[in-house]
Amino acid sequence: MADTWGRFEGRVALVTGAAGGIGAATARRLAAEGAAVIAVDIADEAGEDLAWSITRAGGRAEYRHGDVTSAAMWSELADHVRDRHGRLDVLHSNAYAVVVKPAHELAEEEWDGQLAVTLKASWLAVRALVGDLAASGGSLVLTSSVHALVGLPGHPAYAAAKGALCALGRQLAVEYGPQVRVNTVLPGPILTPAWDRVDAAARADSIAGTVAKRFGTPEEVAAAVAFLASADASYITGATLVVDGGWSVLKDSA
């Protein structure tokens, strides 16, 4: 497999929202570097395809159906991790949900649903598995967003959840260090299936808003996640890493 230099040889990694986009790229990257990957998602066909493609390429991966908002799912998954793998070294909490509407138009269940997938799920994951990460001297990586830093119309619950993830990451780093390192990535515009519902003009605006003048790739975020999860980042915890092609530092007004 490409990019194999074994930073995760003998390690076990769990990735949520792994059936597509950034999660799938992270699953592939960690597997390419030697990890046995547990890919969790609710999109079963794409998740099975991912696990199959990793296995076919010589890596180790299994797909597990799991709604990250379910505490019962996390409890069963933790049992599975212990029974089947006996350890957990990397947890990438990455699934999300968004409903694009201004705050005053959001239904209460739309607010709650976004917070559940995008924020609460990371806490449920930690509650179920932080002991296993601590036992292996492991690492947690949360996927936030540049929405944690700036306001974009129509994303009130998503932005609130992504901002809270940055705070949660710092908090967890303090609570569970030095055994567990916890870091957060903040992607900017990354070309994943999430952009399928965005029209061409809005896509062009997003690209123009980056210094790089292009979308990022899921693989570029996966590389950052793998770095933060690896021993190369052994003195990095409680950090936020923006991966946005300069989107958050570019302003075109005086």
Ligand X SMILES: NC(=O)c1ccc[n+]([C@@H]2O[C@H](COP(=O)([O-])OP(=O)(O)OC[C@H]3O[C@@H](n4cnc5c(N)ncnc54)[C@H](O)[C@@H]3O)[C@@H](O)[C@H]2O)c1
Catalytic residue positions, numbered: 158
Indicate whether 17 belongs to the interface with ligand X (CB under 6 A): yes
Among 27, 78, 115, 117, binds ligand X (CB under 6 A): 117
Q: What is the dihedral of CA 15, 18, 23, 29, to 10 degrees?
A: 70
User: What secondary structure, in 3-state letters, does 170-189 show?
Assistant: HHHHHHHCCCCEEEEEEECC
Indicate whether 189 belongs to the interface with ligand X (CB under 6 A): yes
- Closest CB to ligand X among 134 and 163? 163
Among 48, 62, 67, 220, binds ligand X (CB under 6 A): 67
- Closest CB to ligand X among 20 and 169? 20
Please name which of 46, 50, 42 lies closest in space to residue 16, comparing C-alpha atoms.
42
Q: How far apart are CA 144 and CA 159, in angstroms?
A: 9
- Closest CB to ligand X among 106 and 117? 117
Measured from the Cβ of residue 106, the count of other Cβ atoms closer than 10 Å reads 18
Q: Which stretch binds ligand X (CB under 6 A): 4-12, 125-133, 182-190, 197-205?
A: 182-190
Q: Which of residues 196-215 bind ligand X (CB under 6 A)?
A: none
**Shortest gap between Cβ of 216 and ligand X (angstroms)?**
7
Measured from the Cβ of residue 72, the count of other Cβ atoms closer than 10 Å reads 9
Q: Using N-to-C axis directions, what is the helix angle for 21-32 and 44-56, rounded to 10°?
A: 20
Indicate whether 41 belongs to the interface with ligand X (CB under 6 A): yes
Indicate whether 95 belongs to the interface with ligand X (CB under 6 A): yes
Indicate whether 96 belongs to the interface with ligand X (CB under 6 A): yes
Q: Are strands 240-243 and 181-187 parallel, antiparallel or unpaired?
A: parallel
Please name which of 131, 59, 148 lies closest in space to residue 91, comparing C-alpha atoms.
131
Indicate whether 187 belongs to the interface with ligand X (CB under 6 A): yes
Q: Which of residues 18-37 bind ligand X (CB under 6 A)?
A: 19-23
Among 26, 69, 184, 210, binds ligand X (CB under 6 A): 69
Cβ-contact 133, 178 below 8 angstroms: no
Q: Which of residues 126-155 bind ligand X (CB under 6 A)?
A: 143, 145
Q: Which stretch binds ligand X (CB under 6 A): 38-46, 100-108, 122-130, 131-139?
A: 38-46
Q: How far apart are CA 38 and CA 27, in angstroms?
A: 8
Residues lying near ligand X in the complex (CB under 6 A) are found at 16-17, 19-23, 41-43, 66-69, 94-97, 117, 143, 145, 187, 189-190, 192-194
